[in-house]
Amino acid sequence: MFDLSGRIAAVTGAGSGIGAAIAALFARHGAYVAALDIDERAARRTADAIREHGGCADAYACDVTAAGDVARAFDAIDAAHRRLDILVNNAGIAHVGTIEQTSEADLDRLYAVNVKGVYLCARAAVPIMVRQRGGVLLNLASIASLIGLPDRFAYSMTKGAVLSMTRSIAVDYMKQNIRCNCICPARVHTPFVDNYLAQNYPGRESEMMRQLSAYQPIGRMGTPEEVACLALYLCSEEASFVTGQAYPIDGGVLVA
């Protein structure tokens, strides 16, 4: 099950966290992985780790907010492989604040990465998938796209847009055998969380980690590997009847 042998998969934000976990798991299941990240060294670390474990991967420097960068990366993938079977739009950034605490620059920055980045990468991938008569897009949304979260105004706005784009792409390209879904995680323990706590709560990291973990009724944060397992299912043939859906992975938040 979940065999991705022969599939070409592009993963944005693959340099760390959830993106790196998805890239590694897809490679273990047979996919060639194009690891895209704005930090080329981070993308190379992911690709190198995949190759060290017997997988196939290459690194691509790509700022998902820049149309030229995205076009160059996807043109290079297409030129090398003449197909693209899977796109995981994982690259994203966060922001803490109400509408009063969100500057115009904050809003523009989050929109550029979390919304425009998904748009640009999907726009680059879809024509390749149309040409080959099939493909899968998977977007990383958030439970913030399904419920209201305190102090997450701009972040929630962008993830709501990701959910809407997911459903629009699914409807528009269903007849071309292109599926599109999104994953909606609650808090996931990534390097971003550790850095956020170190910068904002020096000396209180353990206390704040417990508070953040307790938000999930199950009593802990998710792991990047758990999100990757759901991504693997949604991008595999086992999910061939699934499109236009938002899958929570939330430790019980939505049912508590």
200-217 b/e (C-beta count within 10 Å ≥ 16 → b)? eeeeeeeeebeebbebbe
Q: Same domain, yes or no, for 97 and 209?
A: no
Q: Same domain, yes or no, for 76 and 109?
A: yes
Q: Same domain, yes or no, for 214 and 128?
A: no
Model confidence over 108-140: pLDDT tens digits? 999 999 999 999 999 999 999 999 999 999 999
pTM: 0.96
Average pLDDT, the chain: 97
Domain that holds residue 74: 8-185+227-242
Of 32, 60, 111, 155, which is the active-site residue?
A: 155
CATH number assigned to the domain comprising residue 98: 3.40.50.720
177 lies in a domain?
yes
- Report the pLDDT value the prediction gives residue 192, as an integer from 0 to 100: 85
Long-range contacts of 25-29 (CB under 8 A, 24+ apart): 25/225, 25/228, 25/229, 25/231, 25/232, 26/86, 26/228, 26/231, 26/232, 26/235, 27/53, 27/55, 27/56, 27/57, 28/53, 28/55, 29/2, 29/3, 29/4, 29/5, 29/232, 29/236
Q: Same domain, yes or no, for 194 and 154?
A: no
Task: Using the predicted structure, report yes or no on whether residue 200 has a pLDDT greater than 90.
Answer: no
Q: Same domain, yes or no, for 101 and 195?
A: no
Report which residue type is found at 230. Answer: L
pLDDT average, residue stretch 50-70: 98
Q: Same domain, yes or no, for 84 and 131?
A: yes
pLDDT average, residue stretch 202-216: 94
Q: Same domain, yes or no, for 55 and 176?
A: yes
Q: Same domain, yes or no, for 169 and 211?
A: no
Q: Same domain, yes or no, for 128 and 210?
A: no
Q: What span, in angstroms and rounded, lies between the C-alpha atoms of 134 and 17? A: 28
pLDDT confidence tier of residue 156, bands split at 50, 70 and 90: very high
70-97 b/e (C-beta count within 10 Å ≥ 16 → b)? beebbeebbeeeebbbbbbbbbbebbee
Strand partners, 62: none
Task: Using the predicted structure, report yes or no on whether residue 15 has a pLDDT greater than 90.
Answer: yes
- Report the pLDDT value the prediction gives residue 256, as an integer from 0 to 100: 86
Domain count, the chain: 2
253 lies in a domain?
no
81 lies in a domain?
yes
Model confidence over 64-107: pLDDT tens digits? 999 999 999 999 999 999 999 999 999 999 999 999 999 999 99
Indicate if 32 belongs to the active site: no
Report which residue type is found at 235. Answer: C
pLDDT average, residue stretch 190-210: 91
- Token output for 210: 């417990």
Task: Using the predicted structure, report yes or no on whether residue 235 has a pLDDT greater than 90.
Answer: yes
Model confidence over 171-188: pLDDT tens digits? 999 999 999 999 999 999
249 lies in a domain?
no
